[in-house]
Structure 1
Amino acid sequence: MKKCIAYFVSLLAVLALNPLTVFAAEETAAKPIPVWLCIPFAGLLFCIAVLPLVKAEWWESHQALAVAGWSLLFILPFGFLFGVGAALETVLECLVNDYLTFIVLLFGLFCVAGNITMEGDLAGSPRVNIILLTIGTLLSSWIGTTGASMLMVRPVIKMNAWRRNRSHILVFFIFLVSNIGGCLTPIGDPPLLMGFSRGVPFFWSLHLFPIMLFNMVVLLFIFYWIDRKRYCRDMARGRKPDISKPGTKIQIRGLHNLIFLVMIVAAVVLSGILPDQPMFQDAEGNVRGIHIFGEVVLSFPAIIEILIILLAAFLSFRTTAPVIRKKNHFTWGAIKEVGTLFIGIFITMQPALAILKGMGADLGITEPYQMFWTTGVLSSFLDNTPTYLVFLTTAGASGFTDGLATTLGVVPIKVLTAISCGAVFMGANTYIGNAPNFMVKAIADENGIHMPSFFRYIGWSLMVLVPVFVLDTLIFFR
């Protein structure tokens, strides 16, 4: 523990004493990127956290305006400092190669999962909720955290519709299904897919199962006692589920949509495999694609992924009766909100990512516990995929001779484990740490569940998740 405290003190000192500019991304031709260019990112996060509390109606109607405003407050000064061409290239690179595939994947999973409904006499009780969370957590590694979240969130909401105290169920749902459960395969979470494309074996992540199991058991134990107390409180107030024979009838409709879910998973796997195939590379080894502007290229593997996902969503809607979506209370509100907010997050976080990339090798981070916490804390507020790549690259370039050979260099198993767990697990620390978090919140809000505010949710993380991560550090990453 003393090592952890000393490490954080030294890290804060480095950040505090760091000059107001750092040398980072290659697109700026080694010009310094001012730290103040991160203000629009911080401003947008502030709006997401505070405006729903103080100006809820305005925020609901003007999210796009706020996103556009903060995005321009980054783009215009950046264009002034580095030129219009560099600004346009930076924004297009972000939108074409990051946001486009991100939002198409979310859209496809949102559509397909929305066409599957579960009905029956199963009432939300602590025991039933434990079973649902366990199933969702185990599914996350095989159909992705987003896929499992979209598939399981509506059944969980339906079965607990009779309860008054239920927001905590969705909080633990985000902890487990939307994040921690995705650590066992590259399909589970995008950071691991990036590791796979850089030489980490596909099934290597199964080594993380003991860590995932430990976290799952501890969190489910905590959840059970919280849920049991609130369940008893609801029962004491006379609330009872409207069922005749509890737990005897379960019917799943739209089950054929699992075929389209498999299509989407296959598309994600192909996006990690195809770029390494010779037919998709030019003579210099660059991935072939459609040239957009400057160095921005929409790669053919990305196009294939997008087309397969959109085809799956189209076929899902064409082959599923509208009554199923009606039973799911399906609307476009959640995907619209996530699409709007995350386009601003992706654009405005570019300076922060560039600074992180420039500083990564200078932080002196080599120990597993350092990698776990640094990758994790930054992944809580930044995109966990580039954060994972920054520290994987840092580890590969650190001159280790014993460990797993990747295209970035040799990375010790314990260090790779720490980076992977930090990126995947700590995405649960905030609503913006991982896209499914916000999707689950939006769907819960639509269904009348009063979810915790941005800061109250972080309070849940500090009280529940952080102590578990401290245990992870002491047991697995010392």
Structure 2
Amino acid sequence: MNLAFCIPFAGLLLCIAVLPLVKAEWWEAHQPHAVVFWSLLFVLPFAFVYGPGQAFEKVLECIVDDYLTFIILLFGLFCVSGNITLEGDLAGSPRINVGLLLIGTMLSSWIGTTGASMLMVRPIIKMNAWRKRRSHIMVFFIFLISNIGGCLTPIGDPPLLMGFMRGVPFFWSLHLLPVLLFNVVILLTVFYFLDRRAYRKDIAEGLKPDISKPGTEVHILGLHNLIFLAMIVAAVILSGTLPGMAAFQDAEGAVRGIHLFGEVTLTYPALIEVVIILAAAFLSFKTTNAEIRRKNHFTWGAIHEVAVLFVGIFITMQPALMILKANGASLGLNKPFEMFWATGCLSSFLDNTPTYLVFLTTAGALGFTEGMPTILGTVPVAMLEAISCGAVFMGANTYIGNAPNFMVKSISDENGIRMPSFFGYLLWSVTFLIPVFLLDMLVFFL
């Protein structure tokens, strides 16, 4: 696989980063055209070199194995969370915001980073609607709730689910609790002082929260939708456990499913996951008053934008993943801190799930005899911790590093919050996240 095949992926990322700054209206109207252009710029040369059948199989495999479950999960959580709203007299203040970010971070490991993000994003936006300076709130929201908080269980983030499917015990990730607490304390402390300064400036300009009566009366509307949220979490758990059951395997041990083309199969566990999630979304809409969605300012714009852009990202990043998979074992990485940075840096721009699998496979092939036994080989605990943290934590470095990042940005934009540009957000992550990750390396992975 020639590196030239990675040009469309780089081109699409450059469009996402630059065009909203220089041609915002044009970009908003022509995102699908840009996705088609860069996707074809990869597919057509690939078909010329490797044959049309191989090209079609590669794109179909990407859509069926990766994109389908990704976008269905995002769609289901988007729909269900849009039918839950928080009302009351809580106004966005530094202490309230720290509390909400902490709650969301703790939720991320148990309902997933995407689930916690979609559940918490609208209440936090609503409580801070009176404020002028609030983009930093959503940036730290992405840091903590959409990424770092998902490290404690396989439900939290897809890379850990892949580890669970390959022999890592379900509750092993609780080993990462000290690293999580270390990062959360640092980031929430920094956030508090940033938010306090912004809060005081807003108050000094005469901005006041719209609170009709004193007190902190809070109530949740659409609470029954937590049942449908639980359905989605159950679907994700099933997608990780059913493939290992004999009933879902053929005589050769392959997962059963509907054969589509070449070696591409829509597996029955994936199909069950999709059906359960879509059923949860449908029932959520049928059983919830539309007034709740109106109070949430619910629109389809955010999920539409994510669906369009990420199908192009998933297709065009295939060459980069293929090169990484072919050469991962020859990179000479055999220390935890090396695995931490290698997994993390690539997870910032590529899908963190296959990146995690590449380096987990690499670690399992290094011939260690002590550590965590997996079906890929024995992996030292410190190295497994480093790979897991790198994949989960550093997805926060860019908007495309993890599924909910771009969704939170889109919802924030829709609600009048001026979020940083692609490069602007990258500057935030370099300023606040990279120093924390350097501390992680020094304290936990050296």
TM-score (norm 1): 0.93
Q: Distance in 2 between matches of 1:203 and 1:142?
A: 11
Q: Does structure 2 retain, via aligned residues, the 8 Å contact 1:123–1:247?
A: no
Paired residue for 2:299, among 328, 331, 353?
331
Question: 1:19-38: CA deviations, max 9, x gaps?
Answer: xxxxxxxxxxxxxx110000
Equivalent residue runs for 1:368-383 within 5 Å: 368-383=336-351
- Displacement of 1:246 in angstroms is 4.9
2:145 is the counterpart of 1:177: yes
Name structure 2 gaps, 5 residues minimum.
Answer: none
Amino acid aligned to 1:423: A
Q: Distance in 2 between matches of 1:61 and 1:393?
A: 41
Question: 1:138-163: CA deviations, max 9, x gaps?
Answer: 00000000000000000000000000
Q: Distance in 2 between matches of 1:467 and 1:45?
A: 25
| Partner SS, residue 405 of structure 1 | strand
Q: Distance in 1 between matches of 2:255 and 2:138?
A: 40
- Displacement of 1:245 in angstroms is 3.8
Q: Distance in 1 between matches of 2:263 and 2:224?
A: 42
| Partner SS, residue 86 of structure 2 | strand
Equivalent residue runs for 1:61-460 within 5 Å: 61-460=29-428
Question: 1:283-304: CA deviations, max 9, x gaps?
Answer: 1000000000000000000000
Q: Does structure 2 retain, via aligned residues, the 8 Å contact 1:384–1:424?
A: yes
Q: Does structure 2 retain, via aligned residues, the 8 Å contact 1:375–1:387?
A: yes
The aligned residue for residue 20 of structure 2 is 52
Question: 1:350-386: CA deviations, max 9, x gaps?
Answer: 0000001111000110100000000000000000000
Q: Distance in 2 between matches of 1:164 and 1:227?
A: 12
Distance change (3 Å), C-alpha of 1:46 and 1:192? same
Q: Distance in 1 between matches of 2:265 and 2:215?
A: 53
| Partner SS, residue 54 of structure 2 | helix
Q: Distance in 2 between matches of 1:419 and 1:334?
A: 31
Question: 1:323-373: CA deviations, max 9, x gaps?
Answer: 000000000000000000000000000000000111100011010000000
2:429 is the counterpart of 1:461: yes
Q: Does structure 2 retain, via aligned residues, the 8 Å contact 1:123–1:246?
A: no
Amino acid aligned to 1:466: I
Distance change (3 Å), C-alpha of 1:306 and 1:366? same
- Displacement of 1:242 in angstroms is 1.1
TM-score (norm 2): 1.00
Q: Does structure 2 retain, via aligned residues, the 8 Å contact 1:399–1:410?
A: yes
Amino acid aligned to 1:184: L
- Displacement of 1:251 in angstroms is 1.2
Amino acid aligned to 1:444: S
| Partner SS, residue 442 of structure 2 | helix
Q: Distance in 1 between matches of 2:122 and 2:56?
A: 40
Distance change (3 Å), C-alpha of 1:473 and 1:246? farther
Q: Distance in 1 between matches of 2:334 and 2:23?
A: 44
Q: Distance in 2 between matches of 1:49 and 1:346?
A: 17
- Displacement of 1:248 in angstroms is 1.6
| Partner SS, residue 292 of structure 1 | strand
Q: Distance in 2 between matches of 1:225 and 1:101?
A: 39
Q: Distance in 1 between matches of 2:251 and 2:202?
A: 66
Identity of aligned residues (%): 74
- Displacement of 1:244 in angstroms is 3.7
| Partner SS, residue 102 of structure 2 | helix
Amino acid aligned to 1:296: V
| Partner SS, residue 286 of structure 1 | coil
The aligned residue for residue 28 of structure 1 is none
- Displacement of 1:247 in angstroms is 4.7
Q: Does structure 2 retain, via aligned residues, the 8 Å contact 1:122–1:246?
A: no
| Partner SS, residue 219 of structure 2 | strand
| Partner SS, residue 366 of structure 1 | coil
Q: Distance in 2 between matches of 1:465 and 1:378?
A: 15
| Partner SS, residue 223 of structure 2 | coil
| Partner SS, residue 306 of structure 2 | helix
Q: CA RMSD in A?
A: 0.5
Q: Does structure 2 retain, via aligned residues, the 8 Å contact 1:190–1:385?
A: yes
| Partner SS, residue 297 of structure 1 | strand
Amino acid aligned to 1:293: F
Question: 1:303-324: CA deviations, max 9, x gaps?
Answer: 0000000000000000000000
- Displacement of 1:96 in angstroms is 0.6
Amino acid aligned to 1:281: Q
- Displacement of 1:133 in angstroms is 0.1
- Displacement of 1:406 in angstroms is 0.3
- Displacement of 1:475 in angstroms is 0.2
Question: 1:234-275: CA deviations, max 9, x gaps?
Answer: 000000001144552111000000000000000000000000
Q: Distance in 1 between matches of 2:252 and 2:160?
A: 26
| Partner SS, residue 259 of structure 2 | strand
Q: How many residues align?
A: 446
Which range moves more in the overlay, 344-353 or 237-246? Answer: 237-246
